[in-house]
Structure 1
Amino acid sequence: MIGAIEFGLLYGIMALGVYLTFRVLDFPDLTVDGSLTTGAATAAALIHAGQNPLLATAAGFVTGAIAGAVTGILHTKGNIDGLLAGILTMIALWSVNLRIMGKSNLPFLREDTLISPLREAGWMGKTWFVVLIFLAVVFIIKLLVDWFLSTDIGLAIQATGNNEQMIRSFGVNTDGMKILTLSLSNGLVGLAGALIAQYNGVADISMGIGVILVGLASVILGQAIVGQRWIWLATLAVIVGSVLYRLIIFGALRVGLNQDDMKLITAILVVAALLLPRWGFLKRVPSLRDRGGRRRPPEAVAPEVAAPAEAKGA
């Protein structure tokens, strides 16, 4: 279980990237399936070349950001549909990643990585100390995302996702906002790929296949449970969702399900996270929270819900 939490925290970085495009920018970016492997391949190639693991991991962020920028340029300057632009970049990255690694997988045998000290100490998957380290790293990244989205540029990005025509009328370069957001998003995905490769001990060409579904599952599952009223709460929900997703997968494997069934389980989780808030009690959870985060009795909520309808009728 500790190993599943560690894995979930690392994938939480990737989920934060997916959150930026999927929720904030409202952009269906499929570049993620390729950029995660790009970050892993870059870090692996540089570490094998004798570079500092920290610099190699940072390079994974940079190459992931470049991949996201390519998608953004194809969409904004080439007038290519966003979904198709992401698919084109993702397909191209398969060949690029093979070129970077030189082969289909690149293991870390005797190379020093950021994870090596923890593995050599025998702490991986066995102690909560590693969980606290990973949690600190992910929380710092979360705070940076929260801070960025509260800046003028971050607010412009949010406005671009909410109403592109309106914010463009105020003189904001929405094309630039899209390219920047896609770069940052896939940079975080590439960073996650670099860390995950070091955690697994190998960078593999197929490690990014279907990872966009994992990211969406983390975002939707976490926000369905925790909520998304504020930015800081939404990003926290993404991380919680990533860890919860890994725990569910861990539980599914423990009860005897096959590894080949994991994609099906992921799809079911996404569907459930999308539908459950519309059914039964969970449908009322968002309206039962006030601004202070406290739950209110249903009778206190009813007048507020009815008021807009009465005003509209008037």
Structure 2
Amino acid sequence: MDFYLTALLQGLCFAGIAFGIYISMKIFNIPDITTDGSYTLGGVVTGMMLTHSQPGYVILSAVLLAGALAGALTGIIHTKLKINALLAGILVMTALYSVNLSILGRSNLPLLSMPTLFSAVNFLTNANQNSLVILGLFVLAITLLIGYLLKTDFGIAMRATGNSEHMIRALGVNTDRMKITGLALANALTALSGYLMVQLQGFADISMGIGIVIVGLGSVIIAETIINWLQITSVWLSLILVMAGAVIFQFVLALTLDIGVDANLLKLVTAVFVLLIVGLPRLTGRQT
């Protein structure tokens, strides 16, 4: 039971990445690879500030700002220098590896003795269950904030930029600014996942973000598949399904390990699982 509870906790931690990928790929149609670097950036900033005994609200603010700056840089390179969005993300992700290593000062930083978000408040005596309550409240707050933002005039302009850039530009909206803001928001959410995961697992690692974009992508694809099947148009339900997609993704990986699959094959299983999610609906459509 604790095995799957851990998967649930990790899925909730990865909800920020899923939301970030949802904003960049599904709202703006931008394949943003900055995710790998901004996730690690959130983790290393959290780790270093915890070792310097900074208050929680200061750490959270710094993480969100760092992630937003990384995303904004990708947006500026893409919109102002007219560089392909995929290449812009790769460039920033590559640069962030050096930035993260400079911040961390080493390849791995243990934090087991440090006070964290999950030790600050004790709703329950069981550590995992207490973390679940805190993460649940945290992710719920994030979901409500994003849902509210997407329903505002600004959020509608963001969604319109992805759906019909020429139309929204004709209405006087600065689409470049919208893209930069959207990527900043997406990577701030991604860094937030790093912030949560580092405190949950008790260490920050320079390689923690390698391939993490596939987690967010898989989560969003799971959600998108359900959204298309059920023909959901509600922003709120879409966000809930994106969050659920992150949890489902982790449950699948946990089940894979539970049935005895070699842990060395986990990345292969992850890739195959995402391929199946992407391919099966299309194959089913062709057969019908």
Length-normalised TM-score, structure 2? 0.92
1:21 aligns with 2:21: no
Is there any run of 5+ residues in structure 2 with no aligned partner, and where?
none
Distance in 1 between the 2:122 and 2:272 partners? Answer: 34
Residues in 1 aligned to 2:15 and 2:66: alpha-carbon distance in whole angstroms: 19
Are residues 1:241 and 2:245 paired?
yes
The amino acid that maps onto 1:258 is D
CA distance in 2, matches of 1:233, 1:249: 24
Q: Provide the rounded CA distance (Å) in 2 between the counterparts of 1:157 and 1:78.
A: 21
| CA–CA distance in structure 2, aligned partners of residues 6 and 225 of structure 1 | 22
**Contact 1:6–1:130 (CA<8 Å) still a contact in 2?**
yes
Are the equivalent residues in 2 in contact too, given 1:53–1:112 (CA < 8 A)? Answer: no
Alpha-carbon shift at residue 110 of structure 1 (Å):
2.1
C-alpha distance in structure 1 between counterparts of 2:194 and 2:246, whole Å: 15
How far off is 1:276 after superposition? Answer: 2.3
1:204-219 alignment, distance < 5 Å: 204-219=205-220
Determine the structure 1 residue equivalent to 2:73. 70
Give, in whole Å, the separation in 2 of the partners of 1:175 and 1:137: 31
- Change in CA separation of 1:109 and 1:131 when aligned onto 2, cut-off 3 Å: closer
Separation of aligned partners in 1, 2:268 and 2:21: 20
**SS at structure 1 position matched to 2:14:** helix
User: How much has 1:161 moved relative to structure 2?
Assistant: 0.5
Q: Which runs of 5+ in 1 are unaligned?
A: 285-314
Partner of residue 262, structure 2: 258
With 265-274 and 39-48 compared, the bigger mean Cα shift is at: 265-274
For 2:137 and 2:278, the matched residues in 1 are separated by 30
Matched, 1:34 2:37: yes
In the TM superposition, residue 179 of structure 1 has moved relative to its aligned partner by 0.3
Residue 55 of structure 1: aligned partner: 58
Contact 1:46 1:56 in 2 (8 A): yes
2:275 counterpart residue number: 271
CA contact (8 A) 1:41 1:203 kept: yes
Cα distance, 1:279 vs structure 2: 4.3
- What SS does the aligned partner of 2:127 have? coil
User: Residue in 2 aligned with 1:157?
Assistant: 158
- Paired AA for residue 149 in structure 2: F
Q: CA deviation at 1:177?
A: 0.2
Equivalent position of 2:126 in the other structure: 123
Alignment of 1:163-312 (within 5 A): 163-227=164-228, 228-280=232-284
| TM-score with structure 1 setting the length | 0.85
Q: Which residue of 1 aligns with 2:106?
A: 103
Q: Judge conservation of contact 1:40–1:193 (CA < 8 Å) in 2.
A: yes
Alignment partners' CA distance in 1, 2:264 and 2:237: 33
Hey, what's the Cα distance between the residues in 1 that align with 2:112 and 2:135?
A: 22
1:43 touches 1:53 (CA, 8 Å); kept in 2? no
Whether the 8 Å CA contact 1:146–1:235 is kept in 2: the answer is yes
1:244 alignment partner AA: I
CA offsets, 1:267-305, max 9 Å, x none?
A: 222221122223449x99xxxxxxxxxxxxxxxxxxxxx
Answer with 54-63 or 226-235: which moved more: 226-235
Which stretches of structure 1, 4 residues or more, deviate above 4 A after TM superposition? 117-122
Q: Which has the larger radius of gyration?
A: 1
